[in-house]
Chains A and B, each alone.
Chain A
Amino acid sequence: MEDRYGSLIDDYLRGVLTAEQQREVESLLTHDENFRKELNFRKGTASAFARIRHQELKSRLAKLADKQKQDVVFLHPAVKARRRIGYAAAVLAFCIVGLGFLLFMKMTPSAGELYAGYFSAYPNVILPLERAADTPDARSKAYALYEAEQYQQAYDLFTTLDSDTDPEALFYAALSAMEADRIEDAVRLLGNYGRTPAPKLERQAKWYLALAHLKKGEIELSKELLTQLATSAGYNKDEAGALLKKLK
């Protein structure tokens, strides 16, 4: 078949046919086997390209999922384990004292447990490792150390970077500080980051600042930030609402 119907088919696939051309296509689809085959071939080509692209992106996300250590469940495994031990102790006590009725023990997680349950390092979305590999400057090294979970070294390097050219370095310095158990530094850095012009990760910074205050036992400050997040759309709206309920 020559390309006599090529333009017609391509315009059909793009959805730009006139009413008359549309009728012509419908007629050809009914009566012309070669036209139908050619249309299916070109339509299939478009679909095949979409599938190839989809697989490329899927492969990217699959790699990310492998790196992602966050659990679906609400509490960190360590906290869950502590809870299980608590329940076991309760059952043991029940046996020892010989209580004649079922004991139900409800444990309320402490601020520290809530922090452990909700905190997990924010992923590096600024300078992915694969891109950083060829440019081993201080900035790239800082993000690489962060991804490698070497948080103290990452913190040391992030805090040397110029926050005017890379404001997000303040955010990641703060996250590194949280991981390195330097909560005071984290609070200071997140505050500084929030004051930079148009911070890209503003909601994320509020979330982590709320967690940092929680860790310090500053519940009211934490609740204030969580309320801001829970009452506006965007990052961790639901998480903030859930944590807020547990703090009330």
Chain B
Amino acid sequence: MDNEARLIYEIKRGNEVILDQIYLENRNAFLRFGKKMMGDTSTLEDIYQDAIIAFYENVSAGKVTTLKSSIATYIMAIGKFMIYRHLRKSNSLVMLEDFNTAEIDKVFYEYIDTVKEDDSLVLSLEKALKKLGEPCQTLLRLFYYDGKNNSEIMEQLHYASTDVVKSKKYRCLQYLKQLLKSVLPDGR
């Protein structure tokens, strides 16, 4: 197993130390590259961290199983896309359309849009989820974030049947809706 294959294997195992390693190994090269496109070093560092996490999370979730190029090339392409995206939002003369979308997998854009967009419903749900107790938080996270199916959740949380999982999931969602009402700005 070569070094990159080992890193991918470790990411899929959930080894967060690998995140640190990838971060440290690619940081200087990325910042040098990014400084050619924008001067704000703290924003660049922020973008770099987002790019690393986007890579880590999508590999970890199994959405990216094989790499078309090296990890460093991936990180650079994701970061470049995010720099374009940032510059477009700050009304710079850069067009996001100029970015060659073939450079990275579609899942990366989707992930970046998900975690960077400031949708008010999502922001309120984030607050509500933090108030949600156990086992609801774990059950919903397993389903809506980790992508586990009812059978897998049944085994992991030791429920009697998948019907129990469905029923508990439904009740947890109803409870989440109540919490959502309490955190929505206008109390809807």
Contacts and interface: CB of A to CB of B under 8 A. Distances in A.
Interface in B103-144: 111, 114-115, 119, 121-123, 125-126, 128-130, 140-141, 143-144
Nearest to B31: A72
B145 A46 contact: yes
B160 interface: no
Contact of A54 (B57, B125, B141, B173): B57
A40 B29 CA distance: 39
A48 B129 contact: yes
Given A54-B53, A54-B115, A70-B28, A49 B20 contact: no
Contact of A72 (B6, B25, B35, B57): B35
Interface stretch (B44-52, B80-88, B91-99): B44-52
A128 to B, nearest CB: 6
Interface string A222-238: 00000000000111111
B45 A128 contact: no
Given A6-B170, A72-B28, A238-B29, A48 B35 contact: no
Contacts of A134: none
Given A57-B56, A125-B21, A239-B28, A49 B70 contact: no
B122 A57 contact: no
14 contacts: A14-B147, A40-B121, A41-B173, A41-B177, A42-B144, A48-B122, A50-B145, A51-B122, A58-B49, A61-B23, A72-B31, A125-B20, A126-B17, A233-B4
A49 B177 CA distance: 15
Interface of B: 3-4, 6, 16-17, 19-21, 23-25, 27-29, 31-32, 35, 41, 45, 49-50, 52-53, 56-57, 70, 72, 111, 114-115, 119, 121-123, 125-126, 128-130, 140-141, 143-145, 147, 166, 169-170, 173, 176-177, 180
A47 B24 contact: no
Chain A contact residues, majority secondary structure: helix
Given A54-B115, A62-B49, A128 B72 contact: no
Contact of B129 (A6, A52, A236): A52
B3 A234 contact: yes
A82 interface: no
Contacts of B125: 41, 44-45, 47-48
Interface of A: 3, 6, 10, 13-14, 40-42, 44-54, 57-58, 60-62, 64-65, 68, 70, 72, 123, 125-126, 128, 200, 202-203, 233-239
B130 A234 contact: no
